[in-house]
Structure 1
């Protein structure tokens, strides 16, 4: 069997390594992250429905993505987390993004 040194200087059997740590490994059913435009659209829908963007940090929006027909699937987007991240990164966002979010009711403080 092939062995390789670990960070601590010991050797480990390659066959004993967890395959989930291999580069590019994805669990069954794992999905790519939704694009930012999907998060923006979810925020816009939340604002239209609720009248504000004071989204609780743990709030999850359910979105239907894909074209009409068989390719549609429901996805979950952690909108509260995304909104919080946009607020905390306000200084590094593009002016277009700030304007876009402000237009749908984003409060920056």
Structure 2
């Protein structure tokens, strides 16, 4: 799931230029054929509750592995 959520964050950032996502925002992401997602099965579009996910990630920032934190830092994540 991290990969799908991160893809949604990257897509939003590429389009909007920031990660100040409203809490109720849902980002539509096209998943790759090799990526299995609970919502979409294998491949196909999926709605990611990006605002909720980012809020949850912020709350758990101290427990995030350094690699994941760095991935979000590259997008200008405000902690």
The answer to whether the superposition gives a TM-score over 0.5 is: yes
- Computing the radius of gyration from Cα coordinates, the structure with the larger value is 1
- Distance apart, 1:72 and its partner CA: 4.2
Q: Choose between structure 1 and 2 for higher RCO, CA contacts under 8 A separated by at least 6 residues.
A: 2
Which runs of 5 or more structure 2 residues have no equivalent in the other structure? 34-41
Q: TM-score, normalised by structure 2?
A: 0.81
Which runs of 5 or more structure 1 residues have no equivalent in the other structure? 1-34
What is the total number of aligned residue pairs between the two structures?
71
Q: TM-score, normalised by structure 1?
A: 0.60
Change (3 A) 1:72 1:37: closer
- Higher strand share goes to which structure? 2
- Higher helix share goes to which structure? 2
Change (3 A) 1:66 1:99: closer
Change (3 A) 1:48 1:66: closer
* Residue of 31, 40, 58 corresponding to 1:65: 31
